[in-house]
Structure 1
């Protein structure tokens, strides 16, 4: 007879946790006493959200693992046994009623089966009539007894639920309803240790950032960036992670890793495609430190592989809510390790993440980075000057995309978004509006005239409209700035309508990216333009191709013009963009977009 060891997992701490995107891997260690021969180690109160295929059992000791059995208990079976005498009495009566019901149902089945075996050859008509009377009387009595016992069972179940009250299926019974049975064969009695590893859902982590930028007052375009990298962790797995070695991973386990394969394409008459056969997947449980082949001699106890996590002082508070920063306390820094397809962050110290659904923040690192500042303005849409940082990730940490609080010169200015960046990648981050750069963008002026074209013998008239847009810029900072200003010239969709760039001078004939000097303070260029047509300076939709120069936009519209303006402290300038639209006399046109 096998020896049984019962373990309530909720009474044993979790050893370590690795949190992935939307999942987590949990490692538990259980010390057990084995007797010589076969033993069943029954581990209950494991999370219901456990992924069965991820379950793995390893161990230490001279024993053989014969089987690992996964079982999902119903909430009713997961209710703890009652201890009161009244509850025990009702349970005893309920068990007796269920046995009685089983006997009655067996009698009904026997009587029914016997009635189906009778034929006219076996009995006389008188015997048949006598049997039918017996069947009616006896069958009726049995049915009444079955109904009576079923009613009593239902009443007893209600009484039991009322008596047990708090022992009806609870949230804990629902969330911790997994049972794992490990069948172990030991040569002799003694101590052993089981390591149970599994993946659970209902756990997630996401990055959070505090970006603190300090503008160099010397007028240089470089600045220092302090990036506070944190993780927000939530879990409702049903088990509390108390004082665990915590690590974070950027990978997503259990995602499809099958490399797709191309199928041949053929041209022919239409036909009905056959449905792909459903693939079957075989579930298996991993062995581990024990030998897993029955009959093989037990191997020597192996070395235990555990998750490395340095034991350092617990993390301190990282920031004050939206206020000017105080001197930083020393923040524990996570160890980063980058694999072939992911990066892992090992959080120093021990962390506690209860299963309450609330967010719990842990520090990953405080990174000191360098950045290049850019002032960007699109006054046609917004007359503010936006300050953007081109940041190089010079650390060893992978930065995941996530929200960021932005502090500029010690003051909270905006909320922004950090883009995904591997080590040595450069990414952009907007740090808000700079009120020290003042921009005026008055309405565009229009001037219409009739223009004669052609020769004396073949003349025609055109309706021309001259548009002039002025942009005034003033730098009230104590340092110099370099401002990128974006505007646009409309693009013709029809050859009948011509768009000629008048000012800045020479911009119309310039190619995309060719710099045109406007003044001592400014140059301009086409951000998107490339043509080779006779009418120099005419911007047509069909002659444009996407040629990107200097602009940091991912998608650049047709006809976009950019200026690079360098302004010293207290200096200002005015930019002028002028274009003329010519159309056959009487032809109507409109600007769309």
Structure 2
């Protein structure tokens, strides 16, 4: 039997798949010469954190062809080495120290030689030596002395180099995280002498990877930002397995082996139990709306746990012609109020469809409020409303893999090392955004659609503009065709100002009328574009007050009138902008003044318009705050914090 010993640290790692569960799958390849008969292969200095159950082996020929009919494995054992406590770097340091000791001994010999020469020279006197003999000795002393000095200098230089190597090895020893005390013994039987490629695959612990990004944007000579941006997709990898991944092919995976279910789950039966009436608490009635057909109503009942009061936030600002009033139902359905008596499991309505008439339509109210969302189901199970009942969904985790470009070197030092996954190019939709009541600066905001084949996993993003660091943000989880936004800092070439004036008018001053105070606020926003190019999209955000806890205080929006009928999130054109706003006609429809509710319930709105080169835009918002004269109130977040 032939015994073949291999130190894994003498061979480079072939490839590594880094997983998200602090594990990595490592592949190594060893070239081995087998003898006919039994060959025992011992591979030492493998990572101690190897999961023994994950070890897999494969034998192929030298040219990669199969040799299963000529060689086969009969046994494979993975265990800790007997000398597990021995530091693998000790032998290297010991050899360097021995070399240093030999150089120091050689230097001492040269020092002794120089001392003998000096002692002999001091013993010479004119009584026993002629002048010619002294001259000859001095010449020889000079030549030998120079040689001695040169030899000492060379040795000192060699000692210095050895000291550096020793310090470097000691430094590496402190940097290396993990240990390599695992040993694998494999018995291979060959029909004849042959050369093979032995592939070893195993899973190790103490690894980690996380995505990071750099988003690069550029501007032209006149300061206009380019719509094309590039995203550098990086990965930060660190490992402490005890082995260095040198010149290895890296693949990053989102799979977490610890979370994979190994067995098919067992489905338990679903049972319905009656609840005794004496444990019932008073409940709100369930409202059942009858369909337009003459099918008799079916009474459904609900458990105590399924009824919960819903809090509604009242609309705090009044609108002269509310579109909500026009959305009322034209037909008021007949309502049957049924007391609650027993529990109905989720999905019971669908199960009962087979027992009802095909034309029957039932509306199950979520609580006692008839204005709440409901689910309408016909005999064929079609949805009749935009929102359905809440359902629990389990989804198989999706595994994503990313191949790192080129080869990579990741030492086992526990430190983060950055590699490049891809460089992606996107087209950005650029807007200039300002919140002048809080900060009069104008910020460049870019909205980008992920049109690449990559899913952008959660991670930090460094924003770079013209090779200058601008800001740092973070991706949540950007799937393909999803959009993400980022800012490129502020643009000092666009100045913006915010002014607000107010006046108070009294109402109801006669004897029997309640005295009312009406305060009119006029807000003026002025933006000046000093660029030599037009701004296609300038967005300015502001808010009108909302009543927080007293409905006696009313807020009436007077200007712009178009905002009164606008739906939340939908821009509408402002037709009566006045001479104070000069639209950017070169920008087409984008140059016209638009306004929309950003969040109507909170009174948040925003303007959007285009401003021409070296042009100024100005617009006013007017609203009234109406309340009893004897009622004292105050504003929150209403102060102008900064002025241009």
Q: Secondary structure at the match of 1:175?
A: coil
Aligned residues, how many? Answer: 408
Q: Is the 8 A contact 1:404 1:418 kept in 2?
A: yes
State the distance in 1 between where 2:45 and 2:274 align.
60
State the distance in 1 between where 2:88 and 2:468 align.
56
1:32 alignment counterpart: 32
Q: Does 1:523 align with 2:594?
A: yes
**1:553-592 alignment to 2 at 5 Å?**
558-592=602-636
2:250 alignment counterpart: 247
State the distance in 2 between where 1:576 and 1:499 align.
17
2:402 alignment counterpart: 344
Q: Secondary structure at the match of 2:32?
A: strand
Q: Is the 8 A contact 2:26 2:201 kept in 1?
A: yes
Offset of residue 514 of structure 1 = 5.4
Q: Deviations over 1:115-139 (max 9, x none)?
A: xxxxxxxxxxxxxxxxxxxxxxxxx
Cα pair distance change 1:475/1:44, threshold 3 Å: same
State the distance in 2 between where 1:374 and 1:267 align.
59
Q: Secondary structure at the match of 1:527?
A: strand
Aligned match for 2:528, one of 468, 474, 483: 474
Offset of residue 55 of structure 1 = 2.5
Q: Does 1:500 align with 2:583?
A: no
1:430 alignment counterpart: 487
Cα pair distance change 1:256/1:232, threshold 3 Å: closer
**1:75-474 alignment to 2 at 5 Å?**
76-78=84-86, 175-215=179-219, 223-244=227-248, 246-258=249-261, 264=270, 341-348=399-406, 350-409=407-466, 411-418=468-475, 420-442=477-499, 444-452=500-508, 459-474=513-528
Q: Is the 8 A contact 2:176 2:240 kept in 1?
A: no
State the distance in 1 between where 2:458 and 2:505 align.
54
State the distance in 1 between where 2:238 and 2:401 align.
20
Structure 1 runs of 4+ aligned residues shifted over 6 Å read: 80-83, 169-173, 216-222, 259-262
1:70 alignment counterpart: 78
Q: Does 1:485 align with 2:540?
A: yes
Cα pair distance change 1:488/1:172, threshold 3 Å: closer
State the distance in 1 between where 2:46 and 2:234 align.
29
Aligned-residue Cα RMSD (Å) equals 3.8
Q: Deviations over 1:60-115 (max 9, x none)?
A: 243333444332458754557999xxxxxxxxxxxxxxxxxxxxxxxxxxxxxxxx
Cα pair distance change 1:345/1:173, threshold 3 Å: closer
Cα pair distance change 1:411/1:465, threshold 3 Å: same
Cα pair distance change 1:526/1:261, threshold 3 Å: farther
Cα pair distance change 1:467/1:81, threshold 3 Å: closer
Q: Deviations over 1:521-576 (max 9, x none)?
A: 322121233xxxxxxxxxxxxxx4xxxxxxxxxxxxx2111100211111122232
Cα pair distance change 1:173/1:480, threshold 3 Å: closer
1:9 alignment counterpart: 8
Offset of residue 8 of structure 1 = 1.8
Q: Deviations over 1:474-502 (max 9, x none)?
A: 11212111211111122224322211112
State the distance in 1 between where 2:177 and 2:417 align.
25
Cα pair distance change 1:473/1:16, threshold 3 Å: same
Q: Is the 8 A contact 1:224 1:370 kept in 2?
A: yes
The alignment's TM-score, normalised by the length of structure 1, stands at 0.60
Cα pair distance change 1:380/1:199, threshold 3 Å: farther
